[in-house]
Amino acid sequence: MSNLLKNKSTWLQSEIETPLACSACGKTELLPKYTGVEDWTFGNTAGSWSYKICSNCASLNLAPRPKEEFIGRAYTSYYTHGASDQNDSVATKTLKRNKPRKKLRDYFKKIYVRNRYLLGKETPMLTKIYFSWKPNKQLEIDQLYRHVPALQHYVNQGVSPRLLDVGCGDGIFLERMAELGWNVLGCDFDVKAVRGCKQKGLVVELGGLEKFDGEQELFEVITMSHVIEHVYQPLKMMQKAMRLLKPGGILWCETPNANSAIHQRYGSYWRGLEAPRHVIIFTTESLKTLVKNAGFEEVHPLQRLNPTEKILAASEEMANGRLPGKIYRVRSRALKKIAKQIDRTAFRCPEAKEFITLCAIKA
Ligand SMILES: [Zn+2]
């Protein structure tokens, strides 16, 4: 695998730092977990990295890690978040080959989205029956709309709601929400992604939440999809989000889960590690605690379809010395069997799901 990285620039000692405390909880006892982890996900950057586990909260910390001012070098061919959002579902791809079923699915999806996300009405009976037959399809839609309240809920209060997507990538989620009637705003550190968003007519800032320093109570909803694991000071980020939300505002956050079943199976080859870009990997409990410490009062884990095949396939490629690229399903019968076992485990024990998805409310 190291051959894949041989032409990549190395890191100077002066560009590296060793965090002394856990980024999730601030406690200082970090124990060795993995060494010799490389950029096996994108092959962007050289370096042999280590992860340490916090003895207090069990989060994984990249330590040592590139200093924050140099980490940009590890993002030279990074994907935008919207693309990963779209490609979560293997099942969706399969259905595309089957037009009548796709038509049926699109029909019920439209009804569900209109009632759940636009009007805030109960799902009509026939649609309920369809989704009781295909529960994963409903989970997929809720994932696409990130479980936000119905637009009508705000309209009834005379409010034209504003949504901020932090790390908005190519803006596909912002477009979806704008289409529904939300006033949307995004921010991202990726220059190309921001340019693409602007070309689509979206309002997107280059950078992170520091763009809103000095401002408060601007948004009804703030979302962060696969962002917090890249952040050097996650508590500060959550505190900023707290300040930027209006009272009653909602934070939605999703990130890889350190306790995932696929992590247990693949160890340092787990797709979720993504050294050196993922500097902190939370557990459900450590993320909930962080969000509460930032001042949020109600924190709820959300149901999410487990992207088992995608993450399993990627981890398997990495364990076999190949960059995972854009593969979304496992090929061998043995791995399909393992994927089913993992799905059963994640169904029985949500703590073992691949991603932590939660929402929190500002009182
Ligand atoms: Zn900790």
**Mean pLDDT, rounded, for 236-253:** 98
**Ordered alpha helix ranges (H), the chain:** 81-86, 90-96, 99-113, 125-133, 135-144, 151-155, 172-180, 191-199, 234-244, 261-266, 284-293, 308-319, 333-348
List pLDDT tens digits, range 151-194: 999 999 999 999 999 999 999 999 999 999 999 999 999 999 99
CA of 100 to the centre of ligand 1 (A): 50
pLDDT above 80 (res 82)? no
The torsion of the CA quartet 56, 62, 66, 68, rounded to 10 degrees, works out to -50
CA of 287 to the centre of ligand 1 (A): 10
DSSP per residue over 79-94, as a string? PPHHHHHHTT-HHHHH
User: Residues 170, 196: contact at Cβ < 8 Å?
Assistant: yes
CA of 281 to the centre of ligand 1 (A): 10
Band the pLDDT of 138: cuts 50, 70, 90. very high
Q: What is the pLDDT of residue 88?
A: 46
**Mean pLDDT, rounded, for 226-255:** 98
**CA dist., res. 44 & res. 18, Å (int):** 21
Q: What is the pLDDT of residue 1?
A: 47
CA of 63 to the centre of ligand 1 (A): 13
The DSSP symbol for 2 reads G
Phi, psi of 357 (to 5 degrees): -125, 125
Band the pLDDT of 214: cuts 50, 70, 90. very high
Q: What is the ipTM of this complex?
A: 0.99
pLDDT above 70 (res 101)? yes
Band the pLDDT of 84: cuts 50, 70, 90. very low
Q: What is the pLDDT of residue 98?
A: 73
CA of 49 to the centre of ligand 1 (A): 19
Band the pLDDT of 276: cuts 50, 70, 90. very high
**Mean pLDDT, rounded, for 54-75:** 96
CA of 346 to the centre of ligand 1 (A): 24
**Mean pLDDT, rounded, for 76-80:** 68
CA of 60 to the centre of ligand 1 (A): 8
CA of 332 to the centre of ligand 1 (A): 38
User: Residues 62, 51: contact at Cβ < 8 Å?
Assistant: yes
CA of 30 to the centre of ligand 1 (A): 8
The percentage of the chain sitting over the pLDDT mark of 90, rounded to a whole number, equals: 84
Does residue 173 sit in helix, strand or coil?
A: helix
DSSP per residue over 98-160, as a string? -HHHHHHHHHHHHHHHIIIIII-PPPPHHHHHHHHHSHHHHHHHHHHTTTPPPHHHHHTTT--
Band the pLDDT of 100: cuts 50, 70, 90. confident
CA of 138 to the centre of ligand 1 (A): 34
Q: What is the pLDDT of residue 326?
A: 78
pLDDT above 50 (res 86)? no
Q: What is the mean pLDDT of the chain?
A: 92
pLDDT above 90 (res 19)? yes
CA of 84 to the centre of ligand 1 (A): 28
CA of 232 to the centre of ligand 1 (A): 13
The burial of 23, by beta-carbon neighbours within 10 Å (0-12 exposed, 13-18 middle, 19 or more buried), is given as: buried
Tell me yes or no: is domain 158-361 CATH 3.90.1150.10: no
CA of 274 to the centre of ligand 1 (A): 19
Q: What is the pLDDT of residue 8?
A: 64
**Mean pLDDT, rounded, for 190-218:** 96
Band the pLDDT of 112: cuts 50, 70, 90. very high
CA of 52 to the centre of ligand 1 (A): 10
pLDDT above 60 (res 200)? yes
Question: Cα 251 from chain centroid?
Answer: 13
**CA dist., res. 180 & res. 110, Å (int):** 12
Q: What is the pLDDT of residue 9?
A: 64
List pLDDT tens digits, range 327-362: 778 889 999 999 999 999 998 999 999 999 999 999
CA of 291 to the centre of ligand 1 (A): 13
Band the pLDDT of 96: cuts 50, 70, 90. low
Within the chain, all domains assigned CATH 3.40.50.150 are found at 158-361
Q: What is the pLDDT of residue 87?
A: 43
What is the torsional sign of CA 327, 329, 335, 341? positive
CA of 27 to the centre of ligand 1 (A): 6
CA of 344 to the centre of ligand 1 (A): 29
Does residue 27 sit in helix, strand or coil?
A: coil
CA of 59 to the centre of ligand 1 (A): 5
